[in-house]
């Protein structure tokens, strides 16, 4: 973490800056991992890894943020070892000798800078388009061969397909521990494969993997259990999930806390150590009658540590950033209030950290005036 040496820049006791330092700088434990503070780098797809191999620029990109005070880095999504897992040859993969050697360098550099790091393990399922790399002939597969828009042009997964994907996640998790990572995050959000099983809109199966919410959770729970069995008992397993999908912001897995508990309980029982609850705006309540956001409800229902995320530090939706729109800086008082009352445990920061590698250092030192608005041009570089 970058230290402040000028006395005049020290936060005034009782100020928002002082509160930020006190509340965000506290360590927190996830299973056997102690994270040095409450700031998490959110996973953000960057597509700077030709051949699926993270190079020295990717090493520097993550290490720079760890050196500036990010407590836990969740890497961009990385494809597991299944041919239908992705659709780009520039998105990193978490299988293959050269790819894993690149990731080992990332982990080493982050540790040297004082941070902790987990890879996000990813399979896109029915989001895959025909003929795309890295394996052009691989079909799009999902629970029912149904895309997020309701069209059916993929293949419903067989029992063999399910076993192959479950095995791919378990192998990637074992590799993460072997090459020095601190845990893993499973991408079960935003309409990708695991989420396609969780959501009734894409899961029309009539076997044990479809039907009511608990049955739709079976595939995800089996992945969690296989991952849990492939790594050490104190190696953290984080599960990221969302209500919204990448092209359906009104989609919901659960309309009530009771329905949400039906989804989360099997995952917690299977071995999830922490949940990463993805929302577009962290300050919005998830259900009527309570101010709790999705991460807050998740913690209340499961008792597990939770990570909140969604436009932290910025006043504007991240989706508009892909259309070239920027976002002004937003204060953190409400976020600090929620952390102080332990609604959730950690805070994932996306665009603000993409824009400014020093964001965590500035916030922890109370240098709010030095924070810059988000410029969508930051998406085009790996700085």
Could you give the angle at which helices 257-270 and 294-302 cross, rounded to 10 degrees? 60
- Residues serving a catalytic function are 192
Per residue, the 3-state secondary structure of 158-175, as one string, reads CHHHHHHHHHHHHHHHHH
Per residue, the 3-state secondary structure of the chain, as one string, reads CCCCCCHHHCCCCCCHHHHHHHHHCCCEEECCEEECCCEEECCCCCCCCHHHCCCHHHHHHHHHHHHCCCCEEEEEEEECCCCCCCCCCCCCECCCHHHHHHHHHHHHHHHHCCCEEEEEEECCHHHCCCCCCCCCCCCCEECCCECCCCCECCEECCHHHHHHHHHHHHHHHHHHHHCCCCCEEEEEEECCHHHHHHCCCCCCCCCCCCCCHHHHCHHHHHHHHHHHHHCCCCCCEEEEEEEEECCECCCCCCCCHHHHHHHHHHHHHHCCCEEEEECCCCCCCCCCCCCCCHHHHHHHHHCCCEEEECCCCECCCHHHHHHCCCECECCCHHHHHHHHCCCCCEEEECHHHHHCCCHHHHHHCCCHHHCCCECHHHHHCCC
């Amino acid at each position: 973490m970058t230290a402040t040496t000028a006395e005049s820049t020290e936060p005034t006791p009782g100020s928002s800056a002082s509160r930020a330092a006190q509340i965000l700088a506290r360590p927190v434990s996830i299973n056997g991992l102690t994270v040095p503070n409450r700031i998490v780098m959110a996973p953000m797809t960057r597509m700077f890894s030709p051949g699926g191999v993270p190079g020295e620029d990717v090493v520097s990109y993550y290490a720079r943020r760890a050196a500036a005070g990010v407590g836990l880095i969740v890497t961009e999504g990385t494809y597991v070892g299944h041919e239908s897992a992705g659709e780009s040859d520039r998105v990193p993969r978490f299988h293959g000798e050269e790819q894993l050697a690149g990731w080992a360098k990332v982990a080493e550099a982050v540790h040297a800078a004082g941070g902790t790091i987990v890879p996000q393990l990813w399979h896109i399922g029915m989001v895959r388009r025909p003929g795309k790399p890295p394996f052009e002939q691989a079909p799009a597969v999902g629970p029912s061969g149904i895309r997020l828009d309701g069209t059916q042009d993929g293949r419903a997964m067989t029992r063999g397909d399910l076993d192959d994907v479950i095995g791919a996640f378990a192998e990637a998790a074992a590799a993460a521990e072997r090459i020095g990572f601190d845990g893993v995050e499973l991408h079960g959000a935003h309409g990708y494969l695991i989420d396609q099983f969780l959501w009734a809109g894409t899961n029309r199966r009539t076997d044990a993997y479809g039907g009511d919410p608990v049955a739709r959770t079976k595939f995800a729970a089996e992945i969690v259990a296989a991952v849990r069995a492939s790594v050490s008992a104190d190696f953290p397993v984080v599960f990221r999930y969302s209500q919204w999908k990448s092209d359906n912001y009104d989609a919901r897995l659960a309309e009530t806390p009771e329905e949400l508990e039906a989804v989360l309980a099997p995952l917690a029982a299977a071995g999830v150590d922490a949940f990463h609850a993805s929302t577009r705006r962290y300050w919005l309540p998830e259900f009527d009658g309570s101010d709790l956001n999705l991460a807050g409800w998740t913690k209340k229902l499961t008792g597990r540590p939770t990570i909140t995320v969604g436009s932290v530090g910025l006043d504007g939706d991240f989706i508009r950033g892909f259309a070239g729109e920027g976002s002004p800086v937003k204060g953190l008082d409400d976020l600090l209030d929620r952390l102080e009352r332990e609604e959730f445990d950690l805070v994932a920061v996306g665009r603000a950290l993409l824009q400014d590698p020093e964001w965590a250092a500035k916030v922890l030192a109370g240098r709010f005036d030095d924070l810059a608005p988000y410029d969508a041009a930051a998406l085009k570089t790996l700085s």
